[in-house]
C-alpha cells in the first residue's frame, strides 16, 4: 500500500484527502497516517492540511523499491524491482533471480555493494547513498555472439537518461564507459548465461557515480561523479527511471535488426574516442591507431599509421587514450 500511496501522491498536483485514501485502499485513517509517517521518516516531505489532506512537497534522494517503482513509467524495463540496502553485487543477485525464472526486465538495485565487480576481474567501489548500482535481467531471442552489443545499447541509454534528467552531456568511451570532462562516471559489466548455444539470460550491470564528493586514491585521477562535475546533488530514482525509459526504446530499435544499425549514428555522435589516436591493447601487442567509429556489429574501426584498417571486437581488446584514460 505504501508504494501505491506514494505513486498517487506523486501523480497528484495538490492534495489527496485522507478520506479518499481510506476509501481507495480500504483502510482506516490511522493506517493512512502511519504510512505518511513512514514516508516522512524515509525522507519525503509530506504536508498534511486539515480538510484538504496530504500533499507531497519534495523528497531527499530516497532509494527504495517503492520509490523506484513509482518513478518508472515503462512497459517492461524495471517494472519489477528487487531492492537491497546492501548486497554483494547486483549482477550476482540478478543472475540468481534469472536462474529462478525472474521475468525479462526485472531490475535489481542496491544502495551499497560490498563485492561490486568491474570488468577484467577488477572490483567496483560502491558506497552507500551516492551511486546507482543496478543490473537488469534480459531474455533476448538473439544469438549469443550478438549479446555483447547490449552493453553498447546500455551505455547509450545511460547517456540519454543522464542528459534527460540532468542536462549533462556525457560522452561514451568505447565500448561502454561514460565520461564527463575526461573522467569516468559510469561502467558497465555484462554477463550472460547460455545453454545449447541459446541465451538463457543477459545481465548488464550498470554502475554510475552520482553524488560522490571524493574517490579512493587508486581511482581519483580517472573517476568523477555527476555531483563533482555539475556541483549539484541528483536524485538517483529519477535517473534510474530515465535510463529505463531510454533503454526500453533503444532495446526495441536494437531488436529490429539484431545489431547496431539503428543506433550506430547516435553512438558515434557521442563517442569520445572518435577522430582521436588510441592505444589498442591487443593480445599480440599494443599499437597506436586513429579511432573512426563503430560499425553495425559494435566493433570499433581504427586506422593504423600505414593506412590499414582494423576492426576491434568489444570484449576481446580494449583501447585507451594515448595521453591518459580517454
Q: Which residues sit at the interface with ligand BTN, rule CB under 6 A? A: 89-91, 113, 116-119, 122, 124, 126, 133-135, 177, 187-189, 205-207
**146 annotated ligand binder:** no
Q: Which residues pair with 178 in a beta bridge?
A: 172, 186
Phi and psi angles of residue 302, each rounded to the nearest 5 degrees, phi first:
-130, 155
Q: Three-class SS of residue 74?
A: coil
Q: How far is the CB of 211 from ligand BTN (least distance, A)?
A: 15
Report which DSSP code applies to 202.
E
**117 annotated ligand binder:** yes
Q: Which of residues 53 and 116 has its CB atom nearest to ligand BTN in the complex?
A: 116
Q: How far is the CB of 9 from ligand BTN (least distance, A)?
A: 29
CA distance 68 to 110: 11
**113 annotated ligand binder:** yes
**119 annotated ligand binder:** yes
Q: How far is the CB of 5 from ligand BTN (least distance, A)?
A: 29
Got the DSSP string for 208-257?
EE-S-S---TTTTTTB--HHHHHS----HHHHHHHHHHHHHHHHHHHHHH
Helices (H), the chain: 2-11, 18-25, 29-42, 65-71, 90-99, 149-166, 226-230, 236-257, 264-270
Tell me the residue number closest to ligand BTN, measured at CB. Answer: 187
Q: Which of residues 36 and 183 has its CB atom nearest to ligand BTN in the complex?
A: 183
Q: Which of residues 21 and 81 has its CB atom nearest to ligand BTN in the complex?
A: 81
CA distance 56 to 61: 14
CB 178 within 8 A of CB 168: no
Which of 67, 6, 14 lies closest to 32, judged by CA? 6
The sign of the dihedral angle between the CA atoms of 274, 275, 276, 278 is positive
Q: How far is the CB of 19 from ligand BTN (least distance, A)?
A: 43
Q: How far is the CB of 95 from ligand BTN (least distance, A)?
A: 10
CB 238 within 8 A of CB 143: no
Q: Which of residues 46 and 154 has its CB atom nearest to ligand BTN in the complex?
A: 154
Q: Three-class SS of residue 189?
A: strand
Q: Which of residues 16 and 81 has its CB atom nearest to ligand BTN in the complex?
A: 81
Instruction: Considering only CA atoms, give the Rg of the chain.
Output: 22
Q: How far is the CB of 204 from ligand BTN (least distance, A)?
A: 8
Q: Which of residues 16 and 223 has its CB atom nearest to ligand BTN in the complex?
A: 223
Binding-site residue positions: 89-91, 113, 117-119, 184
Binding-site residue positions for biotin: 89-91, 113, 117-119, 184
Amino acid at each position: 500500500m505504501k508504494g501505491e500511496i506514494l505513486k498517487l501522491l506523486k501523480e497528484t498536483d495538490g492534495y489527496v484527502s485522507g478520506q479518499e485514501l481510506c476509501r481507495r485502499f480500504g483502510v482506516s485513517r490511522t493506517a493512512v497516517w502511519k504510512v505518511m509517517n513512514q514516508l516522512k521518516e524515509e525522507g519525503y516531505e509530506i504536508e498534511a492540511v486539515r480538510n484538504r489532506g496530504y500533499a507531497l512537497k519534495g523528497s531527499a534522494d530516497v532509494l527504495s523499491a517503492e520509490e523506484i517503482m513509482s518513478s518508472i513509467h515503462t512497459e517492461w524495463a524495471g517494472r519489477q524491482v528487487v531492492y537491497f540496502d546492501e548486497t554483494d553485487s547486483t549482477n550476482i543477485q540478478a543472475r540468481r533471480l534469472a536462474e529462478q525464472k525472474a521475468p525479462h526486465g526485472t531490475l535489481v538495485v542496491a544502495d551499497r555493494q560490498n563485492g561490486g565487480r568491474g570488468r577484467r576481474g577488477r572490483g567496483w567501489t560502491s558506497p552507500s547513498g551516492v551511486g546507482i548500482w543496478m543490473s537488469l535481467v534480459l531474455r533476448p531471442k538473439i544469438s549469443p555472439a550478438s549479446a555483447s552489443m547490449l552493453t553498447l545499447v546500455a551505455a547509450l541509454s545511460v547517456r540519454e537518461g543522464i542528459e534527460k534528467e540532468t542536462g549533462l552531456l556525457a560522452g561514451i568511451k568505447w565500448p561502454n564507459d561514460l565520461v564527463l570532462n575526461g573522467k569516468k562516471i559510469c561502467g558497465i559489466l555484462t554477463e550472460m548465461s547460455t545453454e545449447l548455444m541459446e541465451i538463457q539470460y543477459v545481465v548488464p550491470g550498470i554502475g554510475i557515480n552520482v553524488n560522490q564528493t571524493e574517490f579512493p586514491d587508486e581511482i581519483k585521477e580517472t573517476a568523477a561523479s555527476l555531483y563533482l562535475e555539475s556541483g549539484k546533488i541528483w536524485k538517483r530514482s529519477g535517473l534510474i527511471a530515465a535510463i529505463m525509459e531510454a533503454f526500453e526504446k533503444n532495446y526495441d530499435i536494437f531488436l529490429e535488426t539484431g545489431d547496431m544499425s539503428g543506433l550506430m549514428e547516435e553512438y558515434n555522435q557521442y563517442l569520445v574516442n572518435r577522430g582521436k589516436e588510441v592505444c589498442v591493447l591487443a593480445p599480440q601487442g599494443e599499437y597506436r591507431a586513429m579511432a573512426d567509429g563503430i560499425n553495425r556489429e559494435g566493433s570499433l574501426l581504427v586506422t593504423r599509421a600505414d593506412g590499414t584498417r582494423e576492426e576491434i571486437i568489444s570484449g576481446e581488446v580494449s583501447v585507451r587514450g594515448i595521453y591518459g584514460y580517454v
